[in-house]
Structure formats: C-alpha cells, structure tokens
Structure 1
Amino acid sequence: MNMTNRIRLYSGLILFAFVASHLTNHALGIISVTAMDAGREVFLFVWRSWVGTAVLVLALVAHTLTVARSAYRRRTWRGLSITDIIQYVTGIAIPPLVVFHVLANRGLHELYGLEDTYPWVLMALWHFDPWTGLQQAILVVITWVHGCVGIHMWLRLKSFYAPLVPTAYTAALLLLVLSLVGFVNGGQEVAALTKDPVWMAAYVEATALPPEASAWVYATRDIAWTGMIAALVLFGAVRGSHYLFERRKGLIVVHYPEDRRIAVEPGVTVLEASRRAGIPHASICGGRGRCSTCRVKIVEGREDLPPMEASERRVLRRIGAPDGVRLACQLQPNQTLSVIPLLPQPTPMREAFADPGYAQGAERRIAVLFADLRAFTKFAEAKLPYDVVFVMNQYCRYMGEAVEANGGRLDKFIGDGVMALFGIDSDAETGARQALETARSMSIALEQMNEALKGDLLHPMKLGIGIHLGDVIVGEMGYRNVVSFTAIGDAVNIASRLEKANKTFGTQLVFSRAVADAAGLTMDQDTARTIEIPGRDRPVRAHVLNSGQNLPETTKAKA
C-alpha cells in the first residue's frame, strides 16, 4: 500500500470512528433525551476539544484530497464493482447533506455561543423543519453505508475477516437501526414536551439567537453548495483537458493473449487498459495494490518499464513472485508492451492472500506418490451407485488423512487413484521420508478401512503404491475455474509406472532407489528390482515390499 492509500485508509478510519460514536449517541435516545445529552458530553469531550477538532478536520481534508487524487488518476470508469459504485455515489452525496448539519450545530456554537443540546436539535428537526429531519436521517444511512463499505473493502483482504463477516454485518446493521430508533424516540419525546408551556418558555429562552444567525446558516449553506458544484465542474474540466493532452502525446499499445490489444495514453495502468478494452482482469482489492490478484507476466517490453515503487515491490515479495511479474494496477507503461494476466476472472477471495511464489511455476526436486485400489471396477459393477460412492468417499478420506498427517500435499484423486506431492516447501530428503511414511500410514489406514467397511465389502480392498523422487515443474495449472496446483515431469510418469509395477510383483509398495537414498534408508538386497519404464532408455532401480508396514522403522524416526 503506497503512502496515498495509507493516508486515505487512516483518515477514513478516524472519520468512521467519529460517525460510529455519533450513532451510538443517537441510540441512547431509546432510553431518553436526557441519556442522549449525557452521552453528548462524552462525545463533545473527545471530538470538540481542540485536539479532537484538529484530528477530525485533518482527517476530513486528507480523505477528501486522497479520494479526489484517486478519482483524478482513474483513466476509465468501466469495470467498477458494485462496492466501488456505492462508495463513489455515497461519497458524493454526503457533503451537500452534511454541510447544513455542521453549520447549524458547530457553526452556531462557535459564532453565537449556542448550546446545541439534543432537545434543541430534535426540536428543530421534528417540530420546526421535519423535511430537514428526514434529510438528516437519510444522511445517517448514507454516511454509515459509505463507512461500512470502506471498512469491508479494507478488511476483506485479511485472512481473519471472513469468519467475522456475519458478526460484523449484524453489528453494523444493529447500530444503524438503534441510532434511527433512538432518533425517532427522542424526537417523539421532545414533540410531547412542546405541549408543556413552561418547558417551551424555558426552551425558547435557552436557545434564543439573533435574527441574523438563521440567515447566516442558510446563506453559508448556499455558498458551500455553489462551491461544491464549482469544484466538481472544475475537476471535470481539468481532468478532461488532461485527457486530451495525454492523447496528443501519442498512444501506446498493450497486447494481451489471443491477439487482443488496446491503445492507451502513456501512464494508464495495465489494469485500467484491461477495463477500458473490456478484457476480464482479476482485481479483488479494486486496483489499490493490496491483493496481488491483478498480477501479470511481462512478455515483451520489460526493459522499458518504469521501476517498481516500494509498495508494489513489497506485495510481490510477499507472494514470492518471480522476475517479470508486475501488478497491473500499479504498472504505468510508457512504451508498448505485451502482458499475460496470471489469475482467472472471476478470482476466488483466497487468491488475495499471500500465495507461494512457486504457484506461478517453479522447478522442484520432490517425491511423488501414486496409490491405486485393486479390482475396484469389479467391486463397482456388483454394487449400487450409492454404495460405490460411499466406499469411494471413505477411501478418499482415509488416504487423504494419511497424506496430510505426514506433511504431504494432495494433488488429485483420479477415480480410485491418489496422487500426492512431498517436499515442495522443504527439501528432497524431507519429502522422501514423508512419502515413505505416508505409504506406511496408507497401508495401516487400508486395514482400518477394510475393518470398518467389512459389512459393505465382498473382499478386503487391496492397494498399490508407487513413489519416485525427481525434478518436476510445479505450479497452478488449468483453465478458468478448473485450476489446481500440480506437478508435471518425468518423475511423475515414473512414480505412476512404479505403482502399476505392483501388479507384476504382487506387492503393495514399489519405491525407487532415489527415494531410499534421499531418505537415508538401507534396504535388503532381496527387495531390489530393476524396472523397465516404457519410453525411457534406462530402467529404474527400485525396492518392492509386500506391505508399506514392512518399511524399516528408521524411516519413521527420521521423518
């Protein structure tokens, strides 16, 4: 997150705290107007002190300027999410609605010494000017929605936030409803007091203002509205002039896969270019440089790119991105370039968190394990579909737990087969020991499963396991929503062939000599075999065991 975004976030949090405390004060109206005024004393102690006022004003100015800067730098309004639209619409609606409230309360207090107590405010909004009271109620809703959406957009990239969403949503909605109920209840209480002539006389005396006070509020409000309109018109004129100036400097071309391209002005971010061209491009954080989901691989033009800012470098370092990967929302090319978006659109929220760099493609020396049930097709032919699915789910659970318990990574289930990877996050030696220990666990788990399902099985299930260690390419591969982390390479093919060799030897486990050496495992020579692999010039030296439970205990001790 760059400095501008940090200022925008922190100033927004201060304003959110102000609004939340204000709504809490309103909610006290459920008790009484007296309770509202008691809460008001605490509210004023914090926010009407010189420190609180300075912090509030600075936050308001900083938030306004940073949002204006962000809007000014935006080259296209296409591709906005519904949350972005809500933020912009409510953000524009707040200033004209809030200016009257500020002038009639803080303004009259500072200039004319008015004690803007809740009876005075509620009297004005319920008795003298109900239309303005309705506007202020609408202002409360709009302001709270704006703040809550902003908080959501910030926290949704935090891993701890997802489980808290229902609670946070309920709390936010409850505070809004309670504040409105308190406002209504307080207004009704004050409206009832107007029938008491003694109370009315005291109220008029306490809130008496010179005639010019009311005129000042409305005149100043009109001036502020005029200034806001002028500022919006000026903003649009300056931005339009800037756009025309950029167009005259010449266009650059951003190339995408499938021969798609878009001509844009220099300085337009790649993400904005994608949106302008209608090209799907993931961006969970909305282009704020927080989530990394918009990252692209630079195919051509890398040498002419502007250097990364510290915020972009920090995000890419967090996910371990390789050279040649940039954040599309931060990259503002000045020359023609070619890019490939690395994540599909739409992108699941989990992609917003720090993924390991090897997910984008890396070479690893790992252990690959294949396991496959024997004669499962015959079993399926003799059973009802429900029974087949039930047994398969039990098998997947037992085998999956064995893999995960030993530090492996489940790659996929292929019918009645399992593929698992070991050593991706560690080293080949650790991976080899984990894979062998998983073979032992699978053998034990198979016996447990056979015992648990003996009433559903005609014969005990049998398993074949093959393990090999070698160099592979790992990464997330697939198409659109069917994307998974997997490995490809000769080692994967060999592991699969070793698993099938169990049928030849009538055994349960076959693992290569490379696995045994990496795990530091000493095997008896009578278990050694040489296995021919189709399409490979040299055979693979391996060891065969009737059961994974026959592995030497030293394997478990070293794992």
Structure 2
Amino acid sequence: MAALSKEQLTAFLRGISLRQVRLASGLILFAYLVSHFLNHALGNISLEALATGVYLHMGLWQFLPITILFYAACLVHTALGIWALYERRQFRWKAIEPLQLALGLSVPMLVIAHIIGVRLGQTLYGHEKLYPQVLFLYWIWAPWRIWMMLAVMTIAWVHGCIGLYLWLRMRAFYKRAAPFLLAAAVLIPTLSMLGFYQSGRMVIDNDSVEWRAETQSQRQIGTPAEAQALERITDYFLFGYFGLIGVALVARGVRAINERRRGMISLSYGNGRTVRVPKGLSVLEASLRNNVPHASVCGGRARCSTCRIRIIGDCSALPEPSQREAFVLGRVGTSDPSIRLACQLRPPTDLSFFQLFLPHTMSADGHESNPTRIGQERYLVSLFVDMRGSTKLAEKRLPFDTVFIVNRFLGAVSQAVIESGGRPNQFVGDGMLALFGLSTSRQEACRQALRAAAMIAVNVDDLNKFLEHDLREPIRFGIGINGGEVIVGDIGYRDHMVFTALGDPVNVAARLQDMTKSLACEVVISDEVRATAGLAADVLPQHEAEIRGRNEPMIVRAITDAGTLSALVNEQQSAAA
C-alpha cells in the first residue's frame, strides 16, 4: 500500500506542468492582493478600522507556513515570468497576452521598494511600519510616491484579472459568473484606491507635532542610516532583476542566431502554402510568424485542441508528445500518431500537414468570445421528438398543407422546449433534437427535459383540437430522453455552421425515441435521467433494452402518457422541499 502511494505521488508530481505551477503561484499572489485591497478599503471608514484590518491581514499572511508559501509563490511567479519572456518567440498573439506579460514583469520593479522598506525593515531592524507610518511617507514626506502606489495597484490588479480571465473563460460556469466577476474586478480596486485616498487625507488632517512624536519615532520608522541601508538593498534587487531580464533578452538573441545556424526547415500546409522557418519553432509559432491563419483558441497554451494538425507522410522522426500534449490528445480521444498539437510540435525536419480546424472558423490571433461555439465537453440532456405518421399524413394532401401541419407541430414542440428552459437544436424532417443543460445543473436539466415532454403533450393536444376538422386522426408523437457527456460546438462548413451536440448520449436519445413504437408509449427515458431528476425508482415502469451500438443492455423507463411527467416532477420537488 505504501509503495502504491509512493508511485501515485511520483506520477502526480511528474504530471505537474509549468503552466499549472504558474497558475497556482498566481492564485496565491492574487489572494494576497485581494486581502490587501480589502484592507485598503477600510480606509473609507476610519484609521482605526484600517489599523484593525491590517492586524488581521498580517495575522494571516505572517503565519509561518503561509508566509513560506507566499514568498515561494513570489519567487516562482517572477522566475516563470522571466522564463516566459525568454520562451516566447514572437508577439503576434492577441494583444491581451503580451500586455499581461509586460504588466507582470513591471510589478516587481515597482513594488520592491515598498516590500523591502516595510517587510525587510521589520525583519532586520524591528521597524513597525504600519499604515500611519506608510501613509505619512506617501502623503506628507514624498507625495510623488502616491502615483507610484496607484500605478502598481492598477498594474498588479489588471495583470491578475487577465490571468484569471484566460484561465476561467473556457469553464462551463464562466458565462453565468462573468457579471459577478466583472463587478468584483471593478469594485474592489475602486474601493481600495478610495480607501487609500481617504486615509491619506485623514493623516494630513491629523498631522501635528504630537501625532508625529507618537507615530514617527525611530523605533517605528528607523534611523537615516537604516533607511540608507534598505535603499541600497532595494537598488541591489533592482539591478539583479533588470540583469535577469537582460539575460533573458540576450538569451533570446543567442537562441535566434543558433537556430539560424542549425538551418531552416520547410513547413507545407497541404494547400500549396509553404514557409521556411528556423528549427526550434512550433508549427503554430511558424504560422503566426508568417501570417498564416491558424486556429488556436487558448493562445498556444495546450489548453484546447483547436490547433490540431494531421501529419502527411511519415511521422516517426518527430519528437514524442510532451505530457501536456499527450493529455490533450487523450482528452479528445485520439491515439493516431499523425495527429499533433501545432502549438507543441517543434519539427526538426521538413514537414507537410493540414489543419483539422479550418482557419476561417476561428482566426489565429482572434479568440472566439464564446468557447462553447468552438468545442467543449459537458453534460447535456438530449430530447428527441418525432411526429408519427407524417408520411401517411402527406398522401392525400397538397404539399403546402402538409408543410403547414408539420410546421405547426414543430412550433408546438419548440414552444414547450423553450418555456421549459431548453434549446431547440436540430430539425430533421418532422423530428427535432432539443438540448437541456447549457446553462443549468445536471439535475435541473433532467427536470426541464421531463417538463418539456409533458408540455409537448399538452401543446400537441391543443393542436389536435385546433386541426380536428382537417385531420383524419390526431397527431401522435414519440419522445426519447437521455443525458451524458457530449461535445458541443459549431459543426459545418463556412456559412453553413450549426451549433449542435455530438456523442453517444445523443445517439441513444434517438434510439429511445424509436423504442416508443415497440413499447407503445409516448416517452422513453434512460434510468440515469430518472435518477438524476430525483424521481423514485418505483414510479415508472422499468424495461431492459438492447441499444444498437452498445454491448450491454440499458435500463429505460417508459411513460404511456407524457402529460403525467409534470406531476411526477412537481411531486418530487415538493417532497424534497
């Protein structure tokens, strides 16, 4: 057992990428920033509230394990920022990404004097530089520092918000959370800066000989000699930091020279376009450098698979996929060695390939504002509904009359789906696919689909009454409902793109709709949908069904009258409440 745990730990550590380390360290620093900003905001109340807040803030962040974690995050995040400067081979990405890098690199040089003056002064000399001492320095002794503080607050906050946006924008919940995140992104720094201003004005109002004697003693702010020593340390840190940035820039130049000395390679795009690039560039970097449109939603971070390419010819000489590339390719279910991520593949020799995602669907440097449109895996509930007897209906009617009746049927179905919270998706003849769960939880999506089935029965019954003089027999229908993990995105070609869902759960829903004929019922749902919706196991008849394309039989539930589903769902919710 111990050996197994050790192996699991080793596998976990090997699976950690630089991207994950950068994200984790950035989240720690952003949490500190939020805590510090909220502390600043207390200045809108009083200096006493500000003083109380700073003791709580220090109590948390000066707790030894958290202190170690915080300073480790500072060093790691700064080092990875410099490494990103070296690693990035061109800056033709969307403007937000080089902006984030530039802002991140500027934060240490702006904040280092504050950190050394306050934190290191306390460690080396026992200074007690809290808000009265710092605000006196900024607002009375050196007012130019006010603009420095406001600049670093703005830069650090914008840098952190960009990082959070690039991380969260691909998440399923982001669309719902975006308004609240935007409100927090605006309100927190605004209240913080207002608090900084109000507390500074209060310090100016309180300034007096007695107040200075109480708050500006040598024990609290140190001696001139100690201040000079801290300034020298600050200069050393700045020189070292600028030196590291300079080393990164020089290393970039050396790398470029070495790449050209190693030779050039040709990349052929399969459409007659060929570019010559130095060895060492990724395929995506080569595309961007030569202004060749290339799909890439995540900006080349191996967070998506939209930059995928298929290698033409022998691919045995290519380098093996990195752990991150292998993870992404495995996530999309491909083991074909000719399928690679363009952002990760750095070919050592000439290469021919073609892109799997056409660049007209998404530009190389313009990210789609809605990632779901491009491709995302998520849990959805699929509802297939089909009109029975449409062929017989059309036998003795004019084509226009038949189309009119079918459209009225599909309208009744679509109205029920929309009012229940779903989305009509595809219309195929006299049938329709509807999707539930694009913006709701799994349980709510299942309940919405069941309510939609009940409402479809009501709407079709009303339609039958409306058309009773024109119909030889009432319109009948069959519904299949199933849930599961599917891929949603835009499918099609150029101007003929359709947003839809792909996956086995959708196919199963269509099979369940066909099954309503043999079971002589209006609705067949998978047992998973029944259980997820919270319906009791004994309220619906159970059947074991063979599903084409599946090895194991599937438990399904048959509902003779779709209208009864609404009462069942409402009863379950009332019982749960």
What is the aligned partner in structure 2 of residue 350 from structure 1? 372
- Structure 1 pair 16–520 and aligned structure 2 pair: CA distance change class (3 A): same
1:78-227 matches, cutoff 5 A: 78=92, 80-194=93-207, 196-205=208-217, 207=220, 209-227=222-240
- Structure 1 pair 53–233 and aligned structure 2 pair: CA distance change class (3 A): same
SS in 1 for 2:110: helix
- CA deviation vs aligned residue, 1:183-203 (integer Å, no higher than 9, x gap): 111111111111x33222222
- What CA distance in whole angstroms lies between the structure 1 residues aligned with 2:87 and 2:398? 61
- What CA distance in whole angstroms lies between the structure 2 residues aligned with 1:311 and 1:69? 18
Kept in 2: contact 1:74–1:272 (CA 8 A) = no
Instruction: Work out which of the residue numbers 52, 55, 70 in structure 1 matches 2:66.
Output: 52
- What CA distance in whole angstroms lies between the structure 2 residues aligned with 1:93 and 1:519? 65
Instruction: Report the TM-score when normalising by structure 1.
Output: 0.70
What is the aligned partner in structure 1 of residue 326 from structure 2? 313
Q: Deviation at 1:30?
A: 1.1
Amino acid paired to 1:179? S
What is the aligned partner in structure 2 of residue 536 from structure 1? none
- Structure 1 pair 197–392 and aligned structure 2 pair: CA distance change class (3 A): farther
Kept in 2: contact 1:23–1:176 (CA 8 A) = yes
Q: Deviation at 1:331?
A: 2.0
- Structure 1 pair 404–184 and aligned structure 2 pair: CA distance change class (3 A): closer
Kept in 1: contact 2:269–2:353 (CA 8 A) = yes
Kept in 1: contact 2:139–2:200 (CA 8 A) = yes
Larger Rg: 1
Gap runs ≥5 in structure 2: 1-14, 379-383, 435-451, 479-488, 502-512, 521-556, 563-577
- Structure 1 pair 309–397 and aligned structure 2 pair: CA distance change class (3 A): farther
Q: Deviation at 1:350?
A: 0.7
Gap runs ≥5 in structure 1: 357-365, 382-387, 423-437, 467-474, 488-514, 524-553
SS in 2 for 1:262: strand
What is the aligned partner in structure 1 of residue 86 from structure 2? 72
1:280-359 matches, cutoff 5 A: 280-321=293-334, 323=336, 324-335=338-349, 336-342=351-357, 344-346=361-363, 347=368, 348-350=370-372, 354-355=376-377
- CA deviation vs aligned residue, 1:299-340 (integer Å, no higher than 9, x gap): 334333222233222222223246243222222222323131
- Structure 1 pair 463–267 and aligned structure 2 pair: CA distance change class (3 A): farther
- What CA distance in whole angstroms lies between the structure 1 residues aligned with 2:154 and 2:425? 48
Runs of 4+ in structure 1 off by over 6 angstroms are 366-373, 401-405, 408-411, 441-444, 460-466, 554-557
- CA deviation vs aligned residue, 1:126-154 (integer Å, no higher than 9, x gap): 11111112111111111111111111111
Q: Deviation at 1:368?
A: 10
- What CA distance in whole angstroms lies between the structure 2 residues aligned with 1:235 and 1:355? 38
- Structure 1 pair 144–486 and aligned structure 2 pair: CA distance change class (3 A): closer
SS in 2 for 1:258: coil
Kept in 2: contact 1:90–1:146 (CA 8 A) = yes
- CA deviation vs aligned residue, 1:95-137 (integer Å, no higher than 9, x gap): 2211111122112212221101110011110111111121111
Amino acid paired to 1:345? M
SS in 2 for 1:302: coil
State whether structure 2 residue 282 is matched by structure 1 residue 269.
yes
Instruction: Work out which of the residue numbers 497, 520, 537 in structure 2 matches 1:483.
Output: 497
Kept in 2: contact 1:296–1:327 (CA 8 A) = yes
- Structure 1 pair 245–45 and aligned structure 2 pair: CA distance change class (3 A): same
- CA deviation vs aligned residue, 1:344-391 (integer Å, no higher than 9, x gap): 2144411565449xxxxxxxxx9999968967875799xxxxxx9xx9
Kept in 2: contact 1:76–1:272 (CA 8 A) = yes
- What CA distance in whole angstroms lies between the structure 1 residues aligned with 2:184 and 2:500? 42
What is the aligned partner in structure 2 of residue 234 from structure 1? 247
Identity over aligned residues, as a percent?
32
What is the aligned partner in structure 2 of residue 31 from structure 1? 45
1:412-427 matches, cutoff 5 A: 412-413=426-427, 417-418=429-430
- Structure 1 pair 232–394 and aligned structure 2 pair: CA distance change class (3 A): farther
Instruction: Work out which of the residue numbers 269, 284, 293 in structure 2 matches 1:256.
Output: 269
Instruction: Work out which of the residue numbers 61, 65, 68 in structure 1 matches 2:75.
Output: 61
Amino acid paired to 1:244? I
- What CA distance in whole angstroms lies between the structure 2 residues aligned with 1:267 and 1:367? 53
Instruction: Report the TM-score when normalising by structure 2.
Output: 0.68
Structure 1 stretch displaced more, 181-190 or 86-95: 86-95
Q: Deviation at 1:260?
A: 1.8
CA-based RMSD of the aligned residues comes to: 4.4
- What CA distance in whole angstroms lies between the structure 2 residues aligned with 1:393 and 1:121? 72
Amino acid paired to 1:349? P
What is the aligned partner in structure 2 of residue 361 from structure 1? none
Number of matched pairs: 457
Amino acid paired to 2:340? R
- What CA distance in whole angstroms lies between the structure 1 residues aligned with 2:386 and 2:491? 17
What is the aligned partner in structure 2 of residue 471 from structure 1? none
What is the aligned partner in structure 2 of residue 11 from structure 1? 25
Kept in 2: contact 1:281–1:341 (CA 8 A) = no
- What CA distance in whole angstroms lies between the structure 2 residues aligned with 1:485 and 1:322? 26
- What CA distance in whole angstroms lies between the structure 2 residues aligned with 1:111 and 1:315? 48
SS in 1 for 2:316: helix
Kept in 1: contact 2:425–2:432 (CA 8 A) = yes
Kept in 2: contact 1:24–1:175 (CA 8 A) = yes
SS in 1 for 2:238: helix
- Structure 1 pair 376–281 and aligned structure 2 pair: CA distance change class (3 A): farther
